[in-house]
Amino acid sequence: MSRSVDPRIDAIERRLVSHTTCDVPSGHRDRVLAAVRDVLAEDLETIVPSDSEIGLKGASALLAIALSTALIIVVPWSFLGRPLLPVPTESTLMARARSAGIDLPVETVATTDHSVHQPRQTPSPMPAHDAIRWRHLIIGDL
């Protein structure tokens, strides 16, 4: 308490100070601390998510990574790599014919870009016996 030259001011100050006894209302402490605990609990829930939330977020992140990887790496490389890869142009039917010893009149080079489903413009002539075996192979009528 400061000291004034005016005794009346000193008296007022003393009166103010004399009535400053600290009386905390009953129940106020519990109410305040309960509110504080609520805030702390809310923050903990926000900061530490539950397992299911982690799983959901993790799955989303993994999906995003997978899609990004596919778009950035796999797709471009698949386009670049396509001409270098052997193109399977031999159909099942032709493979069966070849395994049966039939000399097909068309080329079945593995790396050709010519579709086997499109007839060649200038087919080579087929021997008669091969034609019979070929027909048998196709329709089963011997």
Partner 1 sequence: MVEVTLTESLAAGDPEAFAALYDRLAGRLLGAARTMTGSAEDAQDVVQEVFVELARMRTRLTGILDLEAYMFAMLRNAVRRRGRRTAVDRRAVLALAQMHRATGAWSEAPRLPDDELAAAVARLPSTQRDVLALKIDGGLTFAEIAVVMETSLHTAASRYRYALERLRAALGGRKEKS
Which residues contact partner 1 by CB under 8 A?
2, 4, 6-13, 15-20, 22-25, 28-29, 31-33, 35-37, 39-40, 43-44
Q: At what angle do helices 92-99 and 128-139 cross, to 10 degrees?
A: 130
Q: How far is the CB of 49 from partner 1 (least distance, A)?
A: 17
Task: Label residue 94 exposed, middle or buried (CB < 10 Å: 0-12, 13-18, 19+).
Answer: middle
38 vs 103, beta carbon nearer partner 1: 38
23 vs 141, beta carbon nearer partner 1: 23
Q: How far is the CB of 54 from partner 1 (least distance, A)?
A: 21
Q: How far is the CB of 27 from partner 1 (least distance, A)?
A: 9
DSSP state of 82: G
5 vs 128, beta carbon nearer partner 1: 5
What does the alpha-carbon distance between residue 94 and residue 111 come to, in Å, rounded to a whole number?
16
17 vs 70, beta carbon nearer partner 1: 17
37 vs 135, beta carbon nearer partner 1: 37
Q: How far is the CB of 5 from partner 1 (least distance, A)?
A: 11
Which among 133, 126, 71, 128 is positioned nearest to 104, based on CA atoms?
Answer: 126
DSSP state of 73: I
Q: How far is the CB of 43 from partner 1 (least distance, A)?
A: 7
Task: Label residue 97 exposed, middle or buried (CB < 10 Å: 0-12, 13-18, 19+).
Answer: buried
